[in-house]
Amino acid sequence: MSCAIAFAADSRVDFAELDVTLQESVLDELDHLCESSVPFPARTFIRDFTQDQADARHCLFLRLAYDADINTLLVLGIPITPAVPAERKRVAVS
């Protein structure tokens, strides 16, 4: 299924507050959703995913609505959550 993507006014503000790398991740995730053959779980739903950057892990939540009449996925909001430190890789010492 392929669909258009639109941003509600509130989500535009949320999106602008993200750094560029996270903005790109959001757009990639939206593209993935719109190109997927899997139907959306409901008319409105939340899609969550993580993005690792340097030494932090960002948990992103996209509040979405799908309007079948105009075949559009509407971004309602992107709640900003604090980043959590990424787990450090442990190196075994023998």
pLDDT in tens, 11-58: 999 999 998 999 999 999 999 999 988 888 889 999 998 888 877 888
Q: Please report, to the nearest 10 degrees, the dihedral formed by the alpha carbons of residues 22, 11, 64, 79 taken in order.
A: 60
Identify the pLDDT of residue 23: 95
Q: Give residue 3's identity as a one-letter amino acid code.
A: C
Q: Is 76 exposed, middle or buried (0-12, 13-18, 19+ CB in 10 A)?
A: middle
Please report the domains of the chain, with CATH numbers, ordered by start residue. 4-84 (3.30.2310.20)
Predicted confidence at residue 90, as pLDDT, reads 47
Q: Are 56 and 66 in contact (CB under 8 A)?
A: no
What's the whole-model pTM score?
A: 0.82
Of the candidates 45, 41, 39, 44, which has an alpha carbon nearest to the alpha carbon of residue 3?
39
